[in-house]
Amino acid sequence: MGPNLWINYGEAVAAILFCIGFTNLLLQTNLIKKIIGLNIMDSAIYLFLAEKGYIAGRTAPIVTDGVTNVEAYINPIPSGLVLTGIVVSVSVSALMLSLTIRLYIRYHSLDLDEIAAQLKKEGR
Amino acid sequence: MDFVCNFPFFSILISLFSGTICSILPEKAAKAVNRIVIAAVGVMSGILLLYLLGTGESFVYWMGHFPAPWGNEIRAGVLEAGMALFFCIIMYLSMAGGAHKLFDEVEESKHNLYYILINLLLSSLLALVYTNDMFTAYVFVEINTISACGLIMIRQVGRTIEAAVRYMIMSLLGSGLFLFGLCIMYDLTGHLLMSNIKESVALLIQNGEYQIPLIVSVTLMCIGLCIKSALFPFHAWLPDAYGYSTVSSAAILSSLVSKGYIFLLIKIIYRVIGFDIFNSTRIIDVLFVFGLMGMIFGSLSAIKENDIRRMIAYSSVAQIGYIYMGFGMGTQAGMVASVFHILSHAATKSLLFIAAIGLTEVSGGSRKFIDLTGAGYRNKWAGVAFTAGSLSMVGVPLFSGFISKLLFAQAAVQVEGKMLATLIVLGISTVLNAIYFMKTVIRIYATTGDTSYPCITFKDMKVHAIVLIFFILLNIILGVNSQPIVNMIEQGLAMFA
Amino acid sequence: MYPILLPILFPILAGLCLLVYRKDLERKLLTGITGSCLVITGALVISVLALAKKSLILFYLTETLPIYFQIDEISVIFSVLTVVVFVCAGFFAFAYMKHEQKEKRYYGFYLIAFGVLNGLCFAGNLITFYLFFELLTLSSFPLVLHTGTREAIMAGLKYLFYSLCGAYASLYGIYFLYRHCDTLTFTAGGILQASPASPDGRFLLLVAFLMILGFGVKAGMFPMHAWLPTAHPAAPAPASAALSAVIVKAGVLALIRVIYYIFGADFLRGSWVQTAWLTLALVTVFMGSMLAYREPVLKKRLAYSTVSQLSYILFGLAVMDQDAFMGGLLHVLAHGFIKGTLFLIAGAIIFTTGKTRVDELHGIGKEMPLTMWCYTIVSLGLIGIPPTGGFVSKWYLAIGGLAGDIGIFRYIGPAVLLISALLTAGYLLPLTIRGFFPGADYDYNALQKREPARLMTIPILFMTILSVLIGLFPNIITDYLTKFVSSLL
């Protein structure tokens, strides 16, 4: 376990970051902090993918100097996945932010518990 | 390859693009386009289902003619086509049944948006059903989440926005876990197509390599999908989301959206991990226990609830518990029962939501039980439909609920270690179901109701009543003519392997 | 077509039409329609019993589970009882329900319950039976909570939940049986292949006990009897007559079907299940009588009496002896007619005097002599004094109990039956005595004749006569049943 962890330190860092983001998204009551947690979580996964896709000593899979040898490039699929993931993550963050704005306009608070309390007071 | 094989791709594409078109059309036209698309997809799925039943084999469709393992694939078997057809039917009926309420509850300018969201939802559901690629599945899971969130908050009151935020948070946690699990799986196997992953996983298991990461990955994916489909401890967002959104949304969310995730989980179990490997892990025991707990605690919360819509929502928690309990048994029979319960619950729950709205309309818009007294007399059709739905939920023969309980019990009898727990909890949950549904039925037929509310006759609610009749028929068909459907499910699951 | 379905579907459809029809009907028209529906249904039942084909497979629910109807001797006994009691209590209701609200709803559900009961009698396999058993609960519980008072609604709910719990317990039995049997069709002598000593057999014994407990709820067997004394006083009198005379018998019918037609008497004879069942039945017999003896409210007293008398029948079934079984069947008929009459009389008394407690009814015999004479006759019948129906059935029960192969119960059983008969006299006859001999301080000047309306007295009289006829000519029934009973055991 120990040496494995050391060799794969990139993945280990990604996993730790994922946990940090996950806990933030789950436990923070402030909506903005939740969204930050969400982004940390997503970035951790992209780090993981990028780390997995990288092969030491090779370059990004863009043909510039006419080198077509496969050995020269890293695996492009994880990079592609990261790009797709970023698109998804951006749209989700945007949606969350817009929801947050709506709640803030209505209840003048970013605290989810406080908003819930106000809703209960409204009684609808 | 026959022309019919293009239908899955067509149906995803049509619903995706009609969504974009809806945004520039006037409202009436958007509505028409929406209905036509749902109907067209339904018809295509029906034809596809007949075709597949005829050939008896599933097929794989290469997107852009790139062969595996590079290209993206769509795969269609009997179960996929059947599910797509069923989803379309439920969606069409829910849309038609809730249309008048949509008009009241949602701002005029937002109606177009609603149809866009519905079309997007349909396309993502279809993609979840048909896709053979894990990362595509992830992307459409997110699209599904976004459109579902839109469906919840389209009715702009404080509760729904808060519910949407909570729903979004839970869903994002779920999809984060799912994505992480997926990445580990990709890391281990080097593939994203389900069939290729399965081969590699079998190889890994055979060689005894990377056992722990494999289990971690499977667990993460399972938990992710469980959170998204509101299995018991992760259900906190559900009552508000189902209880306060506009009625079509509630019906569609409860009967389709969560089922889409569950169907994806079934596909993962069969097509990615392999049924036997999955059953040899401890995960099924966890699913089983959470399923049982969901059955009981969902019903208990429903009993305590004082609001008819929230009560039905809590009952969904219990019913989803049933489905996971079926997974947890780890047998083919349990799986068949679960899939049948997906159908049966979808048909019943949307019926209940649509009927409940008919009842609250004649009670001054209030959904408190005290105001619903005698509502069954003021709106006869909704009363009858609600009663039929309740009977199905309670498990009276001739309705679909009875058959799914029969299937669950039969499946349980075959599993030695879990038989007793299953049957006891099934019994308790059925009695609890009976308590809160019968309580409601008695309430809506009590004689001492407030007579100042208006009565509604068939003429005032033609569409609503016809939709309700169709739902009741659907329930009875599932209940009376279950054998062909069960055979179809068995055939479909066999095609998965 | 399917003539066997007519007596089931016709009243159900008629009842549904009544319920769905939006406007309130004029009372005369309403009673006219209901009355003719009742009579037509009765005629349909009789003609189906006499003429129609005896079995029908309607359709298949799953590959091996059809909805299946079949008529045999048991069906005949129970459906004749159903027809008589339902028609009589129905006509009684036309007079009794005059001052109640929502009569249409009552008649609607009454007709539906009638049809469902016919379905229950004709059911040919366990699934069909279970379907109608559930429907019976659902269609009869609006009758219980008809008055709509809080008390009645709570009583209705209690009835509903006891019945549903019982039905589900039995449903689990059905699930297990489904695994062990190829079909669930009722076959005389049982369909089980396993022997009681095998591991499967030991498990099946447990299943049998579960089903006895489950269906026993409907038949008011201890420890699940508590719904009966709550539900009966809350319901309108004709409904409690139907409930007590017929609907609780559905539990008895269920036990006959399950024990004698699915498990088979040989499977259970001598097992711990039989012992437990006998014990429960005897405990119920004694306890029901004791509770009835202590109960001051007339209808509640009759309800406790039902608890006790039903377990006479269950005792007869549990002995698994030909004579005892015959006694049980006879007691089904006798108790049905007698208890139906008693509840109708209680209704008539409440309707005319408004009094519900036994000790308020001094001199009732002077005011309503005809009714009270009927009361006295059927009371004697229930106690078991010849020549009324109760005597013959109890005779057979005692003979069967003494002859049966049931160990110590051979002595305990008849003894308990005897003690309970004494208690029956103790709780039924005081009303007669006080009614006819009110004592010296009774004010004869204030006496006024107030015999109830003819619509009430004729059904009472008719059923009284029937109960006496059973006692006078039991041979007709026993001859009809002898061959069949010997085929069962």
* Tens-place pLDDT, residues B236-294: 888 888 888 888 888 898 888 889 999 999 999 998 888 888 888 888 899 999 999 99
As for how many domains chain B has, the answer is 1
- CB contact, 8 Å: A103 with chain B? yes
Q: Are B442 and C156 a contacting pair at CB < 8 A?
A: yes
pLDDT (tens digit per residue) in B325-380: 999 888 889 999 999 999 999 999 999 999 988 888 888 778 888 888 888 888 88
Please give the pLDDT value at position B39: 93
The pLDDT tens digits for B134-187 are 889 999 999 999 999 988 888 888 888 888 898 899 999 999 999 999 999 988
Residues of B in contact with A118 (CB under 8 A): 158
Residue B366, pLDDT score: 80
Cβ pair C63:B438 closer than 8 A: no
Count of domains for chain A? 1
What's this model's pTM, rounded to 2 decimal places? 0.84
B223 at A interface, C-beta within 8 A: no
Instruction: Write the residue in A18, A52, A103 that is nearest to B161 by C-beta.
Output: A103
User: Do residues C378 and C341 make contact, with C-beta atoms less than 8 angstroms apart?
Assistant: yes
Confidence of residue B40 (pLDDT cuts 50, 70, 90): very high
| Per-residue pLDDT tens over the stretch C99-137 | 777 788 888 899 999 999 999 999 888 888 988 998 898
Inter-chain CB proximity C62 and B483 less than 8 Å? yes
Average pLDDT over residues B101-129: 86
> In which band, very low, low, confident or very high, does the pLDDT at B4 lie, cut at 50, 70 and 90?
confident
**3-class DSSP state for residue A83?**
helix
A110 phi and psi, to 5 degrees?
-110, 0
Query: Strands, DSSP E only, in B21-180?
Result: 59-63, 72-76
**Residue B413's pLDDT is what?**
81
Positions in chain C short of pLDDT 70: 1, 52
Which residue among B158, B168, B186 places its CB closest to the CB of A96?
A: B168
Tens of pLDDT, residues C177-223:
877 777 788 888 788 777 777 777 888 888 889 899 999 998 888 88
Top-confidence residue, A64 or B405: B405
Helix (H, G, I), strand (E, B) or coil at A68: coil
| Interchain CB contact of A85 with B (< 8 Å) | yes
Contact B397 C156 (CB under 8 A): no
Confirm whether B7 is domain-assigned: no
Residue B463: per-residue pLDDT: 85
Chain B, window 155-214: residues with a beta carbon less than 8 angstroms from a chain A beta carbon: 156-159, 161-162, 164-166, 168-169, 172-173, 176-177, 179-180, 183, 186-187, 192
CA distance B45 to B1: 17
**Residue B451 carries which DSSP code?**
T
Decide if B322 is inside a domain.
yes
Residue B277 maps to a domain: no
Residue B399 sits in which domain range? 282-497
Average pLDDT over residues A90-110: 90
- Is residue B208 within 8 A of residue B297, CB to CB? The reply is no
Buried b (16+ CB within 10 A) or exposed e, B351-375: bbbbbbbbbbbbbeeebebebbbbb
Name the phi and psi angles at B75, rounded to 5: -130, 135
Q: Residue B269: what residue type?
A: I
Residues sharing a CB contact under 8 Å with residue B111, sequence separation 6 or more, in sequence order: B27, B30, B31, B102, B103
Percentage of chain B with pLDDT > 90?
31
Using CA of residue B266, residue B268, residue B269, residue B271, what is the dihedral sign?
Answer: positive
Please tell me which residue, C76 or A73, carries the higher pLDDT value. C76
C477/C473 Cα distance (integer angstroms): 8
State yes or no: pLDDT of B448 exceeds 70: no
Contact assignment for A52 to B180 by CB distance below 8 Å: no
To the nearest whole percent, how much of chain A has pLDDT over 90? Answer: 34
Q: For residue A53, what is the domain's CATH number?
A: 1.10.287.3510
User: How far is CA B140 from its chain centroid?
Assistant: 15
Residues in chain B within 8 Å Cβ distance of A122:
158
pLDDT of residue A93: 93
Q: Tell me the residue range of the domain where A15 lies.
A: 2-122
Distance in angstroms (rounded) separating the CA atoms of residues C381 and C335: 9
Give the pLDDT of residue A1: 47
Q: Are strands B72-76 and C55-62 parallel, antiparallel or unpaired?
A: unpaired
Is B156 contained in some domain?
A: no
* pLDDT tier, B1 (very low <50, low <70, confident <90, very high otherwise): low
A95 and B146 in contact (C-beta within 8 Å)?
yes
- ipTM, two decimals, is 0.92
CA distance from start to end of chain B:
22
- Average pLDDT in chain B: 87
Chain A CB within 8 Å of residue B377 CB: no
Residue C365 and residue C435 in contact, taking contact as beta carbons nearer than 8 Å:
yes
Amino acid found at A78: P
